[in-house]
Amino acid sequence: MPAMKRPPENANAVELAKFRADRATEMAQHMTQTSQAMAGLWAVLSPDQRLTFDRMMQREMMRSRHHFMMKSFEHDHPMDRGQSAE
């Protein structure tokens, strides 16, 4: 996946909405490619390997969700610095 892009600092509401929509499209395309690759791998695994793979992915999903939730508290927002959000 390409490096995370940021919208221009002076973007208006329309530009921000377009940026977010474009980013969501990029993420969806990446997730589609990843799921297709995983489906190909999963199809050639033995039943025991599938079970192990499924368990590994479930653990990873839980770890990723926890990481995301923790990162969401670390955002650098103007309101956190006592500045207005304007």
Selected residue with higher pLDDT from 56 and 62? 56
What b/e readout covers 36-48, taking b as 16+ CB neighbours within 10 angstroms?
eeeeeeeeeeeee
Biggest alpha carbon–alpha carbon distance for the chain: 57
Report d(CA 39, CA 54) in Å as an integer. Answer: 12
Q: Please tell me the pTM assigned to this model.
A: 0.56
Structure confidence by residue, pLDDT tens digits, 12-58:
999 999 999 999 999 999 999 999 999 999 999 999 999 999 999 88
